[in-house]
């Protein structure tokens, strides 16, 4: 019979109980015991949900108080010395690595001051993992029992789980050498493997028949050495005398380009592949799996919120069954469900037609069980479910929300000319200097000013209907008046209205566009206790009315200095939403671009001649592998930005902003955007990174952030001056703008005012000098 399985379940709880418990513990408001208890309650609840859903193979050790990779760092005792020297408890050490720890000395304990380990994006998702940070003389030791404890915990509840362990090759490949160290992590494999042998043996002793061993790096382009590591690792781990059966799990892509690795793992019990992201790999993988090996077919999307199309999923599973037989196929989620919200049942405000299109983690658990049953017992066994599913799929495909003919017509009518500004940059900048009349080294900020508690209070009142729209609008106008007065006093050149009306840089636009819906509880973990609630793109996108013109126009009416309009770019709107799965992302980006293009043109008509279109997420959308997909992404991402901005006259200045400095591999993308002015992060990184602009003779203007807005520290005049001096080694004085690294919404005014004053004074120094 075909079994069903889930690769991992979200940890936060239906009401983000884990977030609340962890933050309360961090704040010293609740005990460690109560945090541990919350973890236990949540695990039990999540196992039960899956059990009740009829899932055959339920995961354990997918839970974490912060991050599953961090769990392994601690489990293998790969904890850098800077965290161990304080005699912290294991849980304190764990959180210190995750988020840093600063604590004053007490009578009995010494002061602690240690920053966190690096946190990086988990493949191309919006989840962040803590990066294994390794030493030249790294040793490993099994120094915990978490996977075994959680297995036993479930067993006591009557559920025999399949523990999830991150595989050794991925653990090392995703890691890095600590600062000052030169070790290539993969070279540590031999010393790491005994720890896995011990762990797997212990799991088997505890009664775990199978273990899911995650090796997601198999979907990446891998160096030869890393590929070989699979053979080394799994010839050992797959042959343990008393070891468990191993299912090696890959996800977020296909493994066809690494298919030569498969023979070295096809003696393992099973292999899991992601057939949502990469259904095309099924044939090649079926041909490559071992004679007795089972295939876990990931057909229920672990990364998105759409109901599974049963007939399609069943088709894929049946293909596998034809090749291998029912006993050698498992129906599974494509990846862990970590990236999906907890349950659709919490959404009370969604329109019924749309709600019927979604499936969150708890519903997806039911889906794998239904698909397995359909394949095992035949469709009659689940006739009702299949019928309802087909009806829902059809309703979505034919809904007016999904299909807007006017949007499609407009997309079809796009021409090459729509992507390009009227003239090349030299002519534009000449026209802009007439319209804007800016000094050398112009100063500006990235858009938001401190989101004070007063702003949040008023927004809440307005959302709850406690104040009228008119009252709220007056309040926003007063905020705009205030930030304009402050900016004029400080002497900034290009002003902003401060974004006080925006709750979030994507949601704000989503709420004003057709084609989006919003949830009330659909949170997904981003890192640690931080969760995000992405809006959902359900259909063709269009802009029924201007979205930001009122505020920007009001702001411009209050000052003689140029006011910068502020929009979130098409790629960022797409990346920070749950996208549709029925049309390519490029189509959705193009629709967003057209909507934003209208907004840009309307801003210009309203007298706004500097318009910034933020694309902080354009880099994270970069496909995981080199080649065709990446080339295509570069093309459509760039095109949608250009489409959104190219509708203006030469004299209107287009800015764009990115929150990262790591643009070496992205230079051509950034350059192709053809933005008149770019603002980028640079204060935390070496000014040398700017060399690429010099080397490539980048012709347009750039504002590399001169100070880090993530810290409450106030940068001094000298410091900013020195930073600018460093930048001038790589950028021409006439192309340099002076600005902070990012928006100031998380800062206080007491920090912001002096910091910006120093920034303006530093710019003035260079105006004198050049
Ligand atoms: N304009 C936005 C702000 O200032 C940009 C935020 C971002 O890049 N993440 O808040
Ligand atoms: Zn930013």
Nearest ligand to the CA atom of 451: 1
Atom of ligand 1 nearest to the CA of 659: 8
Residue 303 predicted with pLDDT over 90: yes
Measuring CA to CA, how many Å separate 126 from each of 230, 352, 524, 746, 765? 27, 28, 9, 20, 41
Q: Give per-residue pLDDT as tens, 147-157.
A: 999 999 999 99
State the average pLDDT over residues 36-43: 98
Residue 245 predicted with pLDDT over 90: yes
Atom of ligand 1 nearest to the CA of 745: 10
Interval between CA 495 and ligand 1 midpoint (Å): 14
C-alpha–C-alpha distance, residues 484 and 561, integer Å: 10
Mutate to test the pocket of ligand 1, among 126, 444, 445, 448 (most ligand atoms within 8 A of CB): 448
pLDDT at 684: 78
Interval between CA 615 and ligand 1 midpoint (Å): 9
Q: Are 218 and 258 in contact (CB under 8 A)?
A: yes
Residue 661 predicted with pLDDT over 80: no
Interval between CA 680 and ligand 2 midpoint (Å): 7
Interval between CA 742 and ligand 2 midpoint (Å): 4
Mutate to test the pocket of ligand 1, among 126, 446, 564 (most ligand atoms within 8 A of CB): 446
Query: Which residues surround ligand 1 with Cβ inside 6 Å?
Result: 446-448, 499, 505, 566, 614, 616, 657, 659, 742-743, 745
Interval between CA 30 and ligand 2 midpoint (Å): 34
Q: Give per-residue pLDDT as tens, 717-763.
A: 999 999 999 999 999 999 999 999 999 998 999 999 999 999 999 99
Q: Are 645 and 600 in contact (CB under 8 A)?
A: yes
State the average pLDDT over residues 121-141: 96
Residue 665 predicted with pLDDT over 90: no
Indicate the average pLDDT of the chain: 96
pLDDT at 108: 85
Q: Give per-residue pLDDT as tens, 604-650.
A: 999 999 999 999 999 888 899 999 989 999 999 999 999 999 999 99
Spatial neighbors of 677 by CB under 8 A, at least 6 apart, are: 653, 654, 655, 656, 700, 701, 702, 703, 737
Residue 425 predicted with pLDDT over 80: yes
Q: Are 659 and 683 in contact (CB under 8 A)?
A: no
Spatial neighbors of 346 by CB under 8 A, at least 6 apart, are: 14, 15, 520, 521, 522
Coil, strand or helix at 424: coil
Compute how many other C-beta atoms are within 10 angstroms of the C-beta atom of residue 225: 12
Just list the catalytic residues: 710
C-alpha–C-alpha distance, residues 516 and 573, integer Å: 11
3-state secondary structure 200-265: HHHHHHHCCCEEEEECHHHHCCCCHHHHHHHHHHHHHHCCCCCCCEEEEECCCCCCHHHHHHHHHH
Q: Give per-residue pLDDT as tens, 454-493.
A: 999 999 999 999 999 999 999 999 999 999 999 999 999 9
Which residue's CA is minimally distant from atom 6 of ligand 1? 743
Please state, for a pLDDT cut of 90, what percent of the chain lies above it. 94
Q: Give per-residue pLDDT as tens, 343-375.
A: 999 999 999 999 999 999 999 999 999 999 999
Which residue's CA is minimally distant from atom 1 of ligand 1? 447
State the average pLDDT over residues 673-695: 92
C-alpha–C-alpha distance, residues 305 and 363, integer Å: 10
Nearest ligand to the CA atom of 705: 2
Please, is 85 exposed, middle or buried when counting C-beta atoms within 10 Å of its C-beta (0-12, 13-18, 19+)? exposed
Which residue's CA is minimally distant from atom 4 of ligand 1? 743
């Amino acid at each position: 019979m075909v079994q069903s399985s889930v690769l991992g379940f979200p940890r936060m709880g239906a009401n983000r109980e884990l977030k609340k418990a962890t933050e309360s513990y961090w704040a010293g408001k609740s005990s460690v015991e109560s945090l541990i208890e919350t973890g236990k309650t949540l695990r039990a609840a999540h196992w039960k949900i899956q059990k009740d859903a009829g899932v055959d193979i339920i995961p354990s050790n997918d839970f974490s108080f912060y991050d599953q990779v961090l769990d392994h760092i601690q489990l293998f005792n790969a904890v850098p010395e800077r965290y161990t020297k304080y005699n912290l408890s294991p849980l304190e050490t764990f959180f210190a690595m995750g988020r840093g720890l600063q604590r004053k000395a007490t009578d009995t304990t010494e002061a602690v001051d240690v920053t966190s380990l690096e946190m990086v994006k988990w493949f191309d998702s919006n989840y962040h993992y803590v990066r294994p940070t390794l030493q030249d003389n790294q040793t490993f030791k099994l120094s915990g029992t978490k996977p075994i404890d959680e297995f036993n915990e479930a067993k006591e509840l009557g559920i025999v789980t399949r523990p999830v362990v991150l595989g050794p090759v991925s653990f090392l490949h995703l890691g890095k050498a600590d600062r000052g160290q030169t070790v290539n992590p993969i070279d540590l494999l031999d010393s790491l493997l005994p720890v896995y042998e011990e762990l797997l043996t212990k799991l088997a002793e505890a009664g775990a028949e199978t273990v899911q061993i995650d090796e997601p790096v198999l979907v990446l382009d891998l160096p030869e050495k890393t590929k070989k590591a699979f053979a080394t690792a799994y010839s050992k781990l797959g042959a343990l005398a008393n070891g468990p059966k191993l299912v090696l799990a890959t996800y977020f892509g296909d493994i066809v380009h690494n298919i030569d690795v498969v023979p070295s793992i096809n003696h393992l019990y099973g292999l899991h592949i992601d057939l949502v992201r990469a259904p095309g790999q099924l044939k090649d993988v079926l041909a490559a799996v071992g004679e007795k090996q089972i295939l876990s077919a990931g057909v229920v999307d672990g990364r998105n919120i759409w109901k599974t199309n049963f007939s399609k999923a069943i088709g894929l599973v049946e293909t596998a069954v034809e090749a291998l037989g029912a006993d050698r196929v498992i129906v599974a989620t494509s990846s862990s469900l970590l990236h999906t919200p907890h349950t659709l049942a919490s959404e009370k405000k969604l329109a019924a037609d749309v709600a019927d299109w979604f499936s969150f983690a708890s519903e997806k658990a039911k889906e794998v069980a239904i698909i397995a049953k359909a394949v095992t017992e035949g469709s009659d066994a689940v006739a009702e479910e299949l019928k309802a599913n087909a009806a829902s799929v059809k309703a979505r495909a034919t809904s007016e929300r999904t299909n807007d003919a006017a949007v499609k017509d407009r997309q079809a009518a796009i021409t090459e000319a729509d992507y390009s500004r009227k003239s090349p940059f030299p002519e534009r900048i000449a026209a802009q200097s007439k319209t804007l009349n800016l000094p050398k080294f112009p100063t500006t900020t990235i858009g938001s000013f401190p989101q004070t508690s007063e702003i949040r209070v008023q927004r809440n009142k307005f959302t709850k209907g406690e104040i009228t729209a008119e009252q709220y609008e007056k309040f926003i106008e007063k905020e705009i008046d205030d930030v304009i007065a402050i900016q004029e006093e400080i002497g900034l050149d290009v002003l902003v209205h401060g974004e006080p009306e925006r709750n979030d840089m994507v949601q704000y636009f989503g709420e004003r566009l057709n084609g989006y819906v919003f949830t009330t509880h659909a949170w997904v973990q981003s890192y640690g206790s931080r969760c995000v609630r992405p809006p959902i793109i359900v259909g063709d996108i269009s802009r029924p009315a201007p979205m930001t013109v009122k505020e920007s126009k009001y702001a411009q009416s209050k000052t003689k200095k140029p006011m910068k309009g502020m929009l979130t770019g098409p790629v960022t709107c797409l990346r920070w939403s749950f996208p549709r799965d029925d049309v390519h992302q490029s189509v959705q980006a193009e629709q967003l671009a057209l909507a934003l293009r209208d907004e840009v043109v309307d801003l210009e008509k309203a007298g706004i001649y500097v318009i910034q279109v933020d694309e902080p997420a354009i880099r994270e959308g970069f496909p995981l592998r080199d080649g065709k997909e990446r080339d295509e992404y570069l093309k459509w991402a760039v095109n949608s930005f250009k489409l959104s901005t190219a509708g203006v006259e030469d004299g209107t200045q287009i800015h764009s902003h990115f929150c990262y400095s790591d643009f070496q591999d992205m230079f051509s993308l950034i350059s192709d955007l053809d933005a008149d002015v770019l603002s980028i992060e640079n204060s935390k990184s070496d000014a040398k990174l700017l060399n690429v602009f010099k080397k490539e003779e980048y012709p347009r203007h750039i504002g590399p952030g001169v100070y880090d807005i993530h810290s409450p520290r106030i940068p001094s005049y000298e410091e900013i001056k020195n930073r600018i001096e460093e930048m001038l080694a790589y950028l021409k004085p006439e192309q340099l703008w002076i600005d902070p690294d990012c928006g100031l919404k998380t800062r206080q005014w007491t920090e912001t005012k002096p910091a910006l004053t120093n920034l303006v004074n530093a710019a003035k120094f260079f105006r004198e000098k050049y």
